[in-house]
Protein backbone atom coordinates (compact mmCIF):
# COMPACT_ATOMS: atom_id res chain seq x y z
CA UNK A 1 0.00 0.00 0.00
CA UNK A 2 1.28 3.48 -0.86
CA UNK A 3 2.33 5.52 2.19
CA UNK A 4 -0.04 8.39 1.31
CA UNK A 5 -2.99 5.97 1.32
CA UNK A 6 -2.07 4.31 4.64
CA UNK A 7 -4.61 5.60 7.18
CA UNK A 8 -2.64 3.98 10.01
CA UNK A 9 0.55 5.94 9.23
CA UNK A 10 1.83 8.42 11.80
CA UNK A 11 1.53 12.14 11.00
CA UNK A 12 4.22 13.72 8.84
CA UNK A 13 7.03 15.59 10.63
CA UNK A 14 5.99 18.89 12.25
CA UNK A 15 6.29 22.09 10.22
CA UNK A 16 5.83 25.71 11.23
CA UNK A 17 2.89 27.85 10.11
CA UNK A 18 5.01 29.88 7.67
CA UNK A 19 5.95 26.65 5.87
CA UNK A 20 2.26 25.69 5.63
CA UNK A 21 1.46 29.09 4.11
CA UNK A 22 3.90 28.41 1.26
CA UNK A 23 1.46 25.82 -0.12
CA UNK A 24 -1.22 27.81 -1.97
CA UNK A 25 -4.44 25.77 -1.89
CA UNK A 26 -7.39 27.42 -3.64
CA UNK A 27 -10.98 26.63 -4.56
CA UNK A 28 -12.02 26.66 -8.18
CA UNK A 29 -15.00 25.62 -10.27
CA UNK A 30 -14.59 22.95 -12.94
CA UNK A 31 -15.57 24.56 -16.26
CA UNK A 32 -14.76 21.57 -18.48
CA UNK A 33 -13.84 17.93 -18.03
CA UNK A 34 -12.96 15.31 -20.60
CA UNK A 35 -11.53 11.80 -20.63
CA UNK A 36 -7.74 11.50 -20.90
CA UNK A 37 -7.30 8.08 -22.55
CA UNK A 38 -3.65 8.79 -23.47
CA UNK A 39 -2.62 8.97 -19.79
CA UNK A 40 -0.65 6.02 -18.42
CA UNK A 41 -3.17 5.68 -15.55
CA UNK A 42 -6.88 6.44 -16.14
CA UNK A 43 -7.46 10.17 -15.71
CA UNK A 44 -9.72 13.10 -16.54
CA UNK A 45 -8.51 16.43 -17.96
CA UNK A 46 -10.02 19.32 -16.00
CA UNK A 47 -10.17 23.06 -16.69
CA UNK A 48 -10.74 24.85 -13.40
CA UNK A 49 -11.62 28.54 -12.91
CA UNK A 50 -9.88 29.92 -9.82
CA UNK A 51 -11.21 33.46 -10.26
CA UNK A 52 -9.43 36.64 -11.36
CA UNK A 53 -6.30 36.27 -9.20
CA UNK A 54 -5.24 32.84 -10.48
CA UNK A 55 -7.37 32.42 -13.59
CA UNK A 56 -8.23 29.21 -15.43
CA UNK A 57 -5.79 26.35 -14.99
CA UNK A 58 -5.80 22.75 -16.18
CA UNK A 59 -5.20 19.54 -14.28
CA UNK A 60 -4.92 15.84 -15.01
CA UNK A 61 -6.74 14.02 -12.20
CA UNK A 62 -6.80 10.25 -11.57
CA UNK A 63 -10.43 10.30 -10.44
CA UNK A 64 -12.11 7.94 -12.92
CA UNK A 65 -13.24 5.39 -10.30
CA UNK A 66 -15.85 7.74 -8.80
CA UNK A 67 -16.39 10.53 -11.34
CA UNK A 68 -17.63 10.95 -14.90
CA UNK A 69 -16.48 14.06 -16.80
CA UNK A 70 -20.00 15.46 -17.36
CA UNK A 71 -20.83 15.30 -13.64
CA UNK A 72 -17.73 17.34 -12.71
CA UNK A 73 -18.65 20.54 -14.59
CA UNK A 74 -19.84 23.15 -12.10
CA UNK A 75 -18.34 21.35 -9.09
CA UNK A 76 -15.96 23.23 -6.80
CA UNK A 77 -12.64 21.50 -6.09
CA UNK A 78 -9.52 22.30 -4.10
CA UNK A 79 -6.10 22.39 -5.75
CA UNK A 80 -2.51 23.39 -5.07
CA UNK A 81 -1.94 26.27 -7.50
CA UNK A 82 1.74 27.03 -6.87
CA UNK A 83 3.46 23.77 -7.85
CA UNK A 84 5.44 23.89 -11.12
CA UNK A 85 3.45 22.62 -14.14
CA UNK A 86 3.92 18.93 -14.92
CA UNK A 87 3.96 17.42 -18.41
CA UNK A 88 1.73 14.34 -18.66
CA UNK A 89 2.02 13.01 -22.19
CA UNK A 90 1.04 15.89 -24.48
CA UNK A 91 -0.94 17.57 -21.68
CA UNK A 92 0.46 20.19 -19.27
CA UNK A 93 -1.05 19.80 -15.79
CA UNK A 94 -0.82 23.21 -14.08
CA UNK A 95 -2.38 22.48 -10.68
CA UNK A 96 -2.67 19.49 -8.33
CA UNK A 97 -6.34 18.71 -7.72
CA UNK A 98 -6.76 17.41 -4.16
CA UNK A 99 -8.57 14.38 -2.82
CA UNK A 100 -8.49 11.68 -0.19
CA UNK A 101 -8.31 7.91 -0.73
CA UNK A 102 -11.41 5.86 0.01
CA UNK A 103 -11.08 2.40 1.63
CA UNK A 104 -10.01 0.94 -1.73
CA UNK A 105 -7.43 3.70 -2.37
CA UNK A 106 -9.53 5.48 -5.03
CA UNK A 107 -9.56 9.28 -5.03
CA UNK A 108 -12.50 11.16 -3.50
CA UNK A 109 -12.31 14.85 -4.38
CA UNK A 110 -11.86 17.45 -1.66
CA UNK A 111 -14.10 20.51 -1.83
CA UNK A 112 -16.18 22.81 0.36
CA UNK A 113 -19.57 21.70 1.66
CA UNK A 114 -20.95 25.17 0.77
CA UNK A 115 -20.17 27.40 -2.19
CA UNK A 116 -17.26 29.80 -1.66
CA UNK A 117 -15.82 32.38 -4.07
CA UNK A 118 -13.51 30.92 -6.72
CA UNK A 119 -9.94 31.68 -5.75
CA UNK A 120 -10.61 31.49 -1.98
CA UNK A 121 -7.45 30.28 -0.23
CA UNK A 122 -7.35 27.52 2.38
CA UNK A 123 -6.21 28.68 5.80
Q: Report pTM.
A: 0.91
User: Is the per-residue pLDDT at 108 higher than 70?
Assistant: yes
Query: What is the per-residue pLDDT across 90-106, written as a single tens digit (0 to 9) for each?
Result: 899 999 999 999 999 99
Helices (H), the chain: 17-21, 51-54, 69-72
The candidate with the shortest Cα–Cα distance to 82, out of 99, 97, 98, 95, is 95
- Mark 17-48 as b/e (b = at least 16 C-beta within 10 Å): eeeeeeeebbbbbbeebeebeebeeebbbbbb
DSSP annotation of 48 reads: E
Domain 16-109, CATH among 3.90.1170.40, 3.40.720.10, 2.40.50.140, 1.10.510.10: 2.40.50.140
What are the residues whose beta carbons fall under 8 Å from the beta carbon of 16, sequence distance 6 or more? none
Query: What is the per-residue pLDDT across 57-81, written as a single tens digit (0 to 9) for each?
Result: 999 999 999 999 999 999 999 999 9
Where are the chain's structural domains?
Answer: 16-109
Amino acid sequence: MHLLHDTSAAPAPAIDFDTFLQVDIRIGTVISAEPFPEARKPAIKLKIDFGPGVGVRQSSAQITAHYQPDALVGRQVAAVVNFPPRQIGKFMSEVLTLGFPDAAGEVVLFGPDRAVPDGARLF
